[in-house]
Amino acid sequence: MADWRASLESVAVGLLSLEVNTIRKTGMSAQKMPDVPIALHAIVELYADYLDQLGYGVNQTLLTWAANRIMTPPPPGLDWHANLLNWQPDGATLAITELTNGARTFEALRWAAAAALRLNVGRRGPGTGKPFPDEVRAVITRICANCRQLSPLILSLQSGYPPPPNPQAEDPVLIDGTLEQTAQACFRGKPKFRTTLDVAVVVRKIWDIGTETVLLQTSVQVDGDVVTRISPEIDAAHRDFLLALHASSLKTGLAQWQALFNLVKALCQDLGKSLFGPR
């Protein structure tokens, strides 16, 4: 009963606001989100590749510092936070296949993004030596914020699915394993992965948006506040079409929001009857 009540409370808290985004995306695959452990790998691949193309790829030093910082307690001898605050890329980048879906990887990606925001200059590609455009900084900021949010969530998952002491390449590892190790774990189905609703919702939203450009965003609060943001990337020729599309999406979202409110209300009433009704 306690677990069911906690899940219901988590859903109710999530209904305090509604956010509708209209996103520009190239190369759409229409893929359904995979299981959370594989979805985390997809997020790592997107974020690591995006930062690497800007010249801020994760290297072994950054990964080690990040892993040490999130340990409890951190290893003595260095100020891991200060090291991360001052980290700069050196051109050596770990391959995506070497990165895990664990908290250390997301912590490292967070500080790689923080370095990109701090230095604000492209180190690779066409924009080398130039400040980042606003839309690029927006994506980097999203990466930094999302990794800050994911790191402690995944650290809590790791405690429930700890990897073996020295896993081999073919060993099944659900959390904090390479893609091959996680795929092995999912294929074998041992252990069976379970997570809380709030973790699944966070991962789903981060996986959905990825590194795409958000053109329109409307946030509706339960107290009545409505905020709509419009990107300057929208050109005049497509503005009316995108606004109409966004308005239609918002209408659909509000209808679903109301339906969920009614469902939670009914469940709360049933819970109250079961707890306080006549016996």
Residue 269 has which token pair?
């009433």
User: Where are the domains positioned within the chain?
Assistant: 1-25+215-279, 30-211
Residue 105 has which token pair?
């990887």
What is the distance between the alpha carbons of residues 102 and 134, in angstroms, rounded to a whole number?
Answer: 30
pLDDT of residue 1: 47
Question: Which residues have C-beta within 8 Å of that of residue 146, sequence separation ≥ 6?
Answer: 43, 206
DSSP string, 102-114: SHHHHHHHHHHHH
| pTM for this model (two decimals) | 0.83
The distance of Cα 63 from the centroid of its chain, to the nearest Å, equals 18
pLDDT of residue 261: 73
Helices (H), the chain: 2-14, 36-53, 60-69, 80-85, 103-119, 134-160, 179-188, 197-209, 236-276
Is 109 in contact with 143 (CB distance < 8 Å)? yes
Residue 53 has which token pair?
């193309």
- 81 dihedral zone (left: phi>0; alpha: psi -120 to 50; beta): alpha
CATH architecture, domain 1-25+215-279: 2-Layer Sandwich (3.30)
4 phi and psi angles, rounded to 5 deg: -65, -40
| pLDDT per residue rounded down to tens, the chain (279 residues) | 445 555 555 555 566 778 888 888 776 666 788 899 999 999 999 999 999 999 999 999 999 999 999 998 899 988 999 999 999 999 889 999 999 999 999 999 999 999 999 999 999 988 899 999 999 999 999 999 999 999 999 998 888 888 888 878 778 899 999 999 999 888 877 677 888 777 888 899 999 999 998 889 998 887 778 889 888 888 888 888 888 999 898 899 888 878 877 776 776 666 555 554 555
pLDDT of residue 20: 86
Question: Which residues have C-beta within 8 Å of that of residue 50, sequence separation ≥ 6?
Answer: 139, 143, 211
pLDDT of residue 28: 67
